[in-house]
Every structure is written in C-alpha cells, then in structure tokens.
Structure 1
C-alpha cells in the first residue's frame, strides 16, 4: 500500500545459553530499559501507527442497541453503549461495519428499518460519522476526520430469497451479507439459486460473509465467487472450538482466495483476556498470511469482551501487544486498515468487470 511506512527495525539482543554452573550463580538485577525502549515505546508506537492506519472494525451491533434506549447522545459520551464517539476516537477507529439485526417474522422490513436507522444516526452526528459505500468513500471519510460507516453484515434472510430484494438493499447501502442460515446456502454447499445469489453479489459489489457457514458451503463460494470473501467475526478454531470460528483449512483457503478473517474481541470466541485475542491474531496470520487478518470489535452485540478490550479504547493496547510480539509495522497496518480496504476494492473491481459481461439475474429460488 502506498501509505505504509517502512518496517520498524526490531533490535533483539542475542545471549549465550546458560551453563549449569551459571544457573547456580546469583542473578544480577535486570538493567533498566533505555529511554525510548520497552513497553512505553511500544505503546507510543502503537498509537502513532493507529493514527496513520486506524482500525477498520468488522462488526458493531450499535443498530440493535440504540432502539432499546429512550434517549442517547453518542457525541458527548453514552454509558449505555460501548461505541460512542469519544471512545471510538480514543481507540483510533477509522471505520465500522454496522451489523443489521432482523426479526425472524419480518426479515426484509426489519432490515429496511435498520438501514433507515443507520442513515438517521449518521445524519445526527455529521462531525463524527460518515456513510461509506465504497473503499474510496471509506478513505475519504478518514481523510476528513470522520469515522466511516459501512452498512452490514446483514443475515441472508434480509434478502428474502429474492435477487430483486438483494439489489434493492444494495441500492440502499447494504454492503455485506452473511450467508449462513439461508436455505440456498445449506451445509452441503450452495443450491443453484445460491450460486446465482453469489454471482449477483459479485455483480453488485457486495461482500460475501462466510461466518458460520459449513466447510462445503465455503468451498463452493470460493469456486463460484470472483471476489474475495470475509469472515466478519471468526477466531481460530484450532484455539477455540466456537462454532463460528474457522478451521485451519478454511483459513488457508481464505488466504489463497485473498479474503480476510476479522478476529473478534469476544470472550466466547477468542478467550477472556487481551492476550487471547492476540494469540488468535498470531494464529490466523501464521496460517492464512498477514494479508488475511483483521479485527472485529463485536461491541454492542451483547457479547462479553476480553479483559483489556471492554470497548474500542483497548485497541492501542492490543496493537502494543502485537508489536511486543514482533509483528512488523507493515503487518499491523494491514491488520488494522489495509486488508479491509483491499477486500472492498477487490469487490468493487470485480463488480465493474462483471457488469460488462452480464446484466441483472432473473433467477428465482
């Protein structure tokens, strides 16, 4: 990426192995860290890096929380939510994906109501938030000091098993759709209509979210889709067996297909402490590659969060932990901002190319 800085040069001392005799000798006190080194330096480096490459957060449940409140003020600070503007700014969040919660008995109508709420909330806080429908609009919001808001992920039921409804939702701003739970995305793959849904998402420029999808379904999406897919809230299944977490096989396939796994700050999915989230990030980076890992706060979703990550203000501490573990600055910049932007651009490029070759699908479920 053009805006990435040179990698930080890690200075590590190399010591000799202790002999048995040396182990019996009195240990000298550890030397005090030199000024500008150690944890204080990594904390300062983390905050500096975040100001250049802020967090693109893959799942925020604010749209489901706000309707339960009699009144709220996100600008001055709102104790009833986890993602008010002061905390988002302190945690240096640059973009949010606002998840839609749909009612089982009226999924399409409730999705429309949630999109309407998203527009109203952003309009109420124009100095803090800006709706974004593309990678360029996300970058533009950041350049103007606003937090970009992308609508989605939404459950597949929001589309009502209708390509026309899918197109209408996209026109209204929906950019991410979660396939799990759809009758056309069963455990054994995709139906023929499901394949048409994925192709139409490619044509529109809508991101496919595979969170919770079966391995056969994911494999079929990778075969059909020409655009990268994402996991909006999945940790490493090898470290935690939560059903939404991804196996190493899925992570490797996601990396090969230029997708991104957004690791959640969720005690149930990643563990009770900040270090557990860092462990999942390490694992996904190792298995899928540095270009396939991102962050998902899961704030205001009702999930319990790890200690140290109760809200978005914990992001600098998490980045500091990764720097202490030896992550190069370029990899951290991809984690926080670059990978999500690349996926958005990849989906948009695919849409432009697909629209040259095919018009709207008329398939029915």
Structure 2
C-alpha cells in the first residue's frame, strides 16, 4: 500500500529512453484523412486474410477494453508474465502474438462488497495491478491517458490503463473518486449503488458523473439500468462507454444493448466495446463478427471497439481462446469486406478518441468548475 501513497504525488516524470519500438509506427495521416485511423497502406488485397490481419495489427494494435488479469493473478502464489503463464489467458508472449497495444485492467470486486470494504478491496486490487506492471518493465507500462498509451506503444510496451472499477469503490465519496483518479483510475462502472440503480441516477449520481467529467474518468454503463443509461446520456459532456456489451438483437443477454440504445450511443459519439465471450456473442468467431457488423451498422464505425474480457472466467468463442487470437477475428472481418480504416478505428483509434474526448472535456470543465464537495446526504438525504 505504500506504493499507492507515493502515487498521490501527481507530478509527471519524464520517462527514461527505452529500447527501439517493437511495433512499426505508422506514418501520419494524409491531409483530409480521418485523424483516428492513422491510415497506412494496407496489405495487397490478394494476400491471405490472416496475413493481412497481422500486417494491419502491426500498425494498429488492439486496445483491449476489459481484462480481468488482476483478478486472476490475485489467486496465484507466483507468476511471470514475461516468460509466459499457463494459469491465465494473458501473458506477454500472447499479447505480442495477438498485437495487443493497450489493456484496460478491471478493478471490479465480488458482488456484495460495499462501503469501507469495497474501498479497501479496490485499493488492494489497484496496488496489485501496479505491482504487476512494475515487475514487468520490459513489457508493460502504466498509462493515464491517450498520450501515454501512444508513448508506451511507440516504445514497444503494452499500455495498462486502470479501470473499470465498480461504483461501490467510491464509498459514496467524491473525495475518494478524486483519490482513485490521482492513482490512475480512468473508468468507473455506474452500477451496484443506490445513486445509480434501476430508478436511474439520483441527484448525487448526477453530481458523481459531473465530477467524473471534470476529472476525465470515463463512465462505463455495461450492466446499467435503462434509466441510468438514459440519464447518463443526457448529463454527461464526455463520451460514454460500454466496456462489455454486444447486440441484444443477436443475443438476448441483459448486458447487451438494444438497437435503440446503440443508435443513441452513435449519436452521442460513445463507444460500445464488444466482448469476446460465448455467453454474450456466441460460440464462434463468426458470431463475434456478426455483433461487430451489427454495432457498426447502427452506431457507426467510430463507435465500436473490442473487449477481450480475458481472465474474467467467461467461456470463449472458438478460435478466440486467449489474448493471442485477435488476428483470427480481424481476418474474419477482412473476409467480410471491412476496410483498413474501419479496422484501424475498431482496434485502436476509437479507444484513443474517447480518451481524448474525456481529457478535452476535463480541461474545459476544470476552468469553470471547482472540485465538488457535495455529499450524498446533502443531495439524496
């Protein structure tokens, strides 16, 4: 826990020079090109789809929106992610094979934890995540935003972003929210608390969302009630994300989104990260691709991304068993006619966009709004 205390000093340190990059860095987009796609010449159309997938991912690696690795590692007495770890779905050899450039590490807790217990357990999970990153400096680097993610990628490291965490981690305190943000938290799931429930956001819940906007913490709505989703779309000035949601029209899972919400999300420039789980998307890679097609058609190519959800205990679709398998999915999408620019947005650009959007919103909000001192008893009492 001492390591966490050190992080409360938010001074930014200039990183030491690193070895040469492990992934090729694409050239800047041409004038008039989409700024998120970082378009580079794609492989020849006649080549094998899997070879084309590897070539595209070398320039546009995967920003994986949800990893349960901290949860999985907590039960292991010893591990080495650099050499490879068979007890988990994710290690550095498989991340490199799958061309993963960034991971969002879940700090979610077992159901039933609340109050001080939830706050303490989240801090312990955060401390474990930081310890793992520091133990693997040649492969992992902690990142707090879009620029640091890009810098980690350019130095051949996998960027680790902390979050999502559950809303119970705040202990109904905006001060704790600010403390977690200073320690690196960048995504918070708005479920499982009195102020973000079936009835939607309460007055305190709306204040939490406004403070998240001021800090640059993304709101995750996967698993949230329809009322919470609707109110968050109305209140938030920053992009909203669903870290583990597919299309309900194709698979009637409660965390999947109905078509009308996908359409609203596209209009709000949010992001739906489609999970690679058999329960939510289906038993094979083609089923996952069907969901990606559906979300892209309704929300737009700029509003769909990937959520491996590896090490979360979920069953995997065929050919997507672990973090090395992303080229199989991209090859399927290439076979379906996805353009290089849309694939670049899917794997990398869209996550960067919402992070930059949250950071832009935070800078603007901080100029007109002081840190909130509201208490839940003041607003919801």
- State the TM-score, normalizing by the size of structure 1: 0.90
Which of 115, 124, 132 pairs up with 1:113?
Answer: 124
Task: Report what 1:91 is aligned to.
Answer: 98
Which of 238, 246, 253 pairs up with 1:227?
Answer: 238
Deviations 1:55-80 (A, max 9, x none): 00010001101111111110011100
1:213-292 matched pairs, under 5 angstroms: 213-292=224-303
Q: 1: CA distance between counterparts of 2:40 and 2:99?
A: 21
Cα deviation for residue 7 of structure 1 reads 7.4
SS of residue paired to 1:68: coil
Deviations 1:265-290 (A, max 9, x none): 00000001010000000000001000
Q: Does 1:194 pair with 2:205?
A: yes
Q: Does 1:162 pair with 2:169?
A: no
Cα deviation for residue 101 of structure 1 reads 3.0
Contact preservation (8 Å) 2:36, 2:345: no
Q: Does 1:362 pair with 2:373?
A: yes
Contact preservation (8 Å) 2:37, 2:345: no
Cα deviation for residue 37 of structure 1 reads 5.8
For structure 1, list consecutive stretches of 5 or more residues without a partner in the other structure: 10-35
Task: Report what 1:79 is aligned to.
Answer: 86
Task: Report what 2:354 is aligned to.
Answer: 343
Q: 2: CA distance between counterparts of 1:50 and 1:85?
A: 16
SS of residue paired to 2:251: coil
Over the aligned positions, Cα root-mean-square deviation in angstroms equals 1.4
Task: Report what 1:67 is aligned to.
Answer: 74
Q: 2: CA distance between counterparts of 1:169 and 1:6?
A: 37
Task: Report what 1:44 is aligned to.
Answer: 51
- State the TM-score, normalizing by the size of structure 2: 0.87
Q: 1: CA distance between counterparts of 2:241 and 2:342?
A: 18
Task: Report what 2:133 is aligned to.
Answer: 122
Cα deviation for residue 3 of structure 1 reads 5.8
Task: Report what 2:336 is aligned to.
Answer: 325
Q: How many pairs were matched up? A: 338
Contact preservation (8 Å) 2:245, 2:274: yes
